[in-house]
Chains A and B, each alone.
Chain A
Amino acid sequence: MNLKELYQEIILEHGKNPRNLGKTDDFNKDAKGHNPLCGDNVHVFLKLNGQKIVEEISFEGSGCAISMASASIMTDLIKGKNEHEAKEIVEDFLGMIKENPELKSENLEEDEKTKLMCLSGVKQYPMRVKCATLSWHTLVSAFDNDKEYVKTEN
């Protein structure tokens, strides 16, 4: 276990100053996510163009440093990607949090991968995995415009 690995500077910085926080103007897809055990809430907004490319992405919500940083980094990386690429990145991220030591995605630049890898420390803290994954599950739900709440508990 390594706290320094979990709370890296970049995580703390994104947690304190989340990027793309707020409601995107003219969003055409959105979904809410909720983690009932910790009370974390997230609302993801997407503006897709005709080619299904994410022109704008933002989120509203509150939660711990891990959940805010994860949502913030997610919006940073997903902006400009198309739906297919975005979903592959989500799969890759979830895989990394569970078991894969490396990211496979061909849709991310090296510096983007480095940024995403900063969240891999969460893997050592099973209790905190849900904090990191809530916004990503909610993103998928937004693409599918699923009006049901995403929950991390079933």
Chain B
Amino acid sequence: MINEVKKDRISYGELPNKYEAGTMATAQVIAFDQSIKFLESVGIENVMKHEAELVEYGQELLQKNNSVKLIGNPKNKGGVLSFTIEGIHPHDVATILDEDGVAIRAGHHCCQILHDKLNIPASSRASVGIYNTKDDLDKLNDAINNCKKIFNL
């Protein structure tokens, strides 16, 4: 926030006000309200059920895929599939998947210590949500096969 603005000079408010500048996040507030309404209309249990089904389907699919190694298999697994592909670095995986329209996250995911413990430099992670379908996971699997093809594996 400002204190005073003139043509040739400006002075800012005292802390913390000087860092509280800007337009109120009106669009975000409205969108957040709509997001809550949407989730409530679907039902949070249904969202969780949908994600659990997708993750189970994805796990089965990727387990069958040679050279894909899934990471982590806890009870009550959330909507994520972490994996590595033998012989291909996760950043290369992410770039190739991206070209096939599959967006994943690759790297150490702000979790370097875990990756050290797992003795891997990085991992790939696909997340599923209410908007995903089993068809998307088939596309993920196809894109992984394309990676292997590009890397001659």
Partner of A39, one of B87, B92, B122, B150: B122
Supplied contacts A38-B106, A39-B108, A39-B121, 15 more A-B pairs, CB within 8 Å: A1-B99, A3-B96, A7-B92, A7-B150, A37-B107, A38-B122, A39-B115, A62-B121, A63-B91, A63-B121, A64-B92, A65-B89, A65-B92, A128-B91, A128-B95
Min Cβ gap B140→A in Å is 17
> Interface size of B by Cβ–Cβ distance < 8 Å?
19
List residues of chain B with CB under 8 Å of any chain A CB: 87-92, 95-96, 99, 106-108, 112, 115, 121-122, 150-152
Residue A6 CB within 8 A of the other chain: yes
Q: When A and B form their complex, which 9 residue pairs have the shortest distance between CB atoms, in order from nearest?
A: A64-B89, A64-B91, A39-B108, A64-B92, A65-B92, A62-B121, A38-B107, A3-B99, A7-B150
- 18 inter-chain pairs at a CB distance below 8 angstroms, sorted by A residue, are A3-B95, A7-B92, A7-B96, A7-B150, A7-B151, A12-B152, A37-B107, A38-B108, A39-B107, A39-B115, A39-B121, A63-B89, A63-B91, A63-B121, A64-B90, A64-B91, A66-B91, A128-B91
For chain A, which range describes its interface: under 10, 10 to 19, 20 to 34, or 35 or more residues?
A: 10 to 19
A131 proximity list for chain B (CB < 8 A): 91
Provide the bound-state CA to CA distance between A62 and B88, in Å. 12
* Contact B92–A3 (Cβ < 8 Å): no
